[in-house]
Amino acid sequence: MNKKVVGILTLLFMIPLMVACGSQQESQTSETSTTAPGLRKEPYAQEQFLLGTYTRIRVYDEGKEAAMTPAFERMKELGDKITINEPDSEIDEINENAGIQPVKVSPEIYQLVKRAKEYSVESEGAFNLVIGGITQLWRIGFDDARKPSDEEIQQALTTLDYQKVQLDDEYETVYLEEKGMIIDLGAIAKGYIADEVATILRNEGVTSAIIDLGGNILVLGHSNRGVDQPWKIGIQDPNDARGSIIGSIEETDKTVVTSGVYERYLELDGVKYHHIFDTQTGYPIENDVASVSIITDHSIDGDALTTLVFAKGIEKGLAFVEENTPEGTDAIFISRDGEVYVTSGIKDTFELSTESDYRMAE
Ligand code: ADP
Ligand code: MG
In a mutational test of the pocket of ligand 1, which residue from 134, 276, 334 has the highest number of ligand atoms less than 8 Å from its CB?
276
Candidate from 131, 142, 261 with most ligand 1 atoms within 8 A of CB, to mutate: 131
Task: Specify the range with the lowest mean pLDDT, choosing from 29-33, 66-70, 278-282.
Answer: 29-33
Parallel, antiparallel, or unpaired for β 359-360 and 339-342?
Answer: parallel
| pLDDT at position 33 | 60
Long-range contacts of 332-335 (CB under 8 A, 24+ apart): 332/235, 332/247, 332/249, 332/292, 332/293, 332/295, 333/289, 333/291, 333/292, 333/309, 334/235, 334/238, 334/246, 334/289, 334/290, 334/291, 334/292, 334/358, 335/288, 335/289, 335/290, 335/361
Q: Which has the higher per-residue pLDDT, 5 or 169?
A: 169
Residue 19: the pLDDT is 37
Range with the poorest average pLDDT among 77-81, 212-216, 282-286: 212-216
Give the model's confidence band at 26: pLDDT under 50 very low, under 70 low, under 90 confident, else very high.
very low
135 lines ligand 1 (CB under 6 A): yes
In a domain, 320, yes or no: yes
Based on the structure, what is the number of domains in the chain?
1
In a domain, 101, yes or no: no
pLDDT digits (tens, 9 = 90+) for 94-125: 999 999 999 999 999 999 999 999 999 999 99
Whichever domain contains 243, its CATH number is 3.10.520.10
Answer yes or no: is the C-beta of 117 below 6 A from any ligand 1 atom: no
User: Which residues does 258 contact at the CB level (< 8 Å), separation at least 6?
Assistant: 15, 16, 18, 215, 216, 235, 236, 291, 292, 293, 294, 306
- How far is the centre of ligand 1, averaged over its atoms, from the C-alpha of 184 (Å)? 8
With the CA atoms of 81, 83, 87 and 92 taken in that order, what torsion angle do they form, in degrees rounded to the nearest 10? 90
Query: 253 vs 42, 57, 199, 301, CA distance in Å?
Result: 19, 15, 12, 14
Is residue 281 domain-resident?
A: yes
* Domain assignment present for 183: no
- pLDDT category at 243 given cuts 50, 70, 90 is confident
Whats the size of the chain, residue-wise?
362
Q: How far is CA 98 from CA 77, 101, 108, 238, in A?
A: 24, 7, 20, 38
Does residue 41 sit within a domain?
A: yes
Atom of ligand 1 nearest to the CA of 12: 16
Q: DSSP state, 60?
A: E
* Mean pLDDT for the chain overall: 90
Coarse DSSP helix, strand, coil percentages of the chain, rounded to the nearest 5 percent: 35, 25, 40
Sign of the C-alpha dihedral, residues 188, 189, 194, 196?
A: positive
The verdict on the CB of residue 306 being under 6 Å from ligand 1 is yes
Ligand 1, atom 10: closest residue by C-alpha: 187
**Cβ atoms within 10 Å, residue 287:** 18
Q: Which atom of ligand 1 is nearest to the CA of 303?
A: 6
Q: Which atom of ligand 1 is nearest to the CA of 186?
A: 16
pLDDT tens digits, one per residue of 173-188: 999 999 999 999 999 9
For the Cβ of 284 lying below 6 angstroms from any atom of ligand 1, the answer is: no
Point out the least confidently predicted range of 45-54, 143-152, 192-201, 264-273. 264-273
- Answer whether residue 169 is part of any domain: no
Q: Place 84 in a pLDDT band, splitting at 50, 70 and 90.
A: confident
Give the residue numbers spanning the domain of 249.
3-63+207-360
Higher-confidence residue of 88 and 322: namely 322
- How far apart CA 41 and CA 279 sit, in angstroms, is 47
Q: Is the CB of 127 under 6 A from ligand 1?
A: yes
